[in-house]
Structure 1
Amino acid sequence: MIRALVFAAALATLTACATPPPSSGDEVQRLAAEIQSLGPDIDPEEATRAARIAHAYTAQLVQEYKITDPPLIHNAKVNKGLRPRGLCWHWAEDIERRLDQEQFRTLEMHRAIANADNPFRIDHSTAIISRKGESMYDGVVLDPWRYGGVLFWSPLVEDTRYEWVPREEVLEKRRQEQVGQLTRLALN
């Protein structure tokens, strides 16, 4: 019975990660409008450029990462050395790095991690774009991993699938836990 439940949960997870949301209209323009709505001082040209780059670079990374499978299967291939990159943090790192190259005046990038404290789920990384000077919580999630190379985007507050935490907070907590473990080992 437990095996059947575990299998069903794994299958549901694989299916959920493999099915992109329905696409309607011009995605680049819709994302540009969402970015523009982050504040009245967002440069419309920057919003459009960010949206265009996010979509085009996602397509480029699909080729570079050799994406042919749903995200979790691709992850297994990366972990076995059969694919070069394509884990969620690779997507987040590469999208953030590419958009940072633009040196936007009115926009800035953030990184976030979800599920870091959940022992039953693998943690998940993403990039977030916000108005310059705002926190990631006021931004738009840019997640090309979630649907295997199809760019998912949403205002962070509307992304109910994940509870995003600033990457720096998660990494600092992990560093403190490692220091604690090393201290305990040294005392024993």
Structure 2
Amino acid sequence: MPIQFAKEPHNGSTLVNASLAQLSTRIPSGLPPSLAGVNLGALNVQAPHAIFDLQADAITQGKGLASARATGFRYPVEVAGVSVAAAEVHADASGSANLVANINCGPFVAASARALNDLAKLAPVNTGQFEACLLRFSAIPLMAIWLKSTGGASDLIYPLEPAPSVLVAGKLYSESDFLNAVMPIAQKRVASGGSQPVP
């Protein structure tokens, strides 16, 4: 079954398009390198996926993925089918978009696009029912595709490149295997008050 995505917040795409239009008025030297030479008028906003954030203290307390907080929506932005940016949108309690928090052009943009394409070809994914979300764990730091099961199967985690040394980018992890891998780092971060360097 095709991977599912969250319902976008009301007015989300409109807000992202308005922010991209403002971006297009910048002089070239003010644009991120990935957008240099890109026809900003041809940017195409794609359907978003939900963003969830993990906290180190919650992991060390054994709360798992259920403790991840929904914090926004991430809209991939493409030009001619190539992902060049991602816009993070926040929504209010009524479900309406009220802020474009950032427009990111870093390495996770292309990694996310590759991951979603690759995941759709994997048997455990295309034979199940999953919603694709972006999972962030700033304590490591880590970004991953979180495949939240909507059909009774177990959730799966797919770390994006670049991944910390305790994980392999592009490998499917069960929730328990993922949590076991990141637990030592989470414990060190909590013990050090957040100053522990990432291995």
TM-score, with structure 1 as normaliser = 0.30
Normalized per residue, the structure richer in strand is 2
The structure whose Rg is larger is: 1
TM-score, with structure 2 as normaliser = 0.29
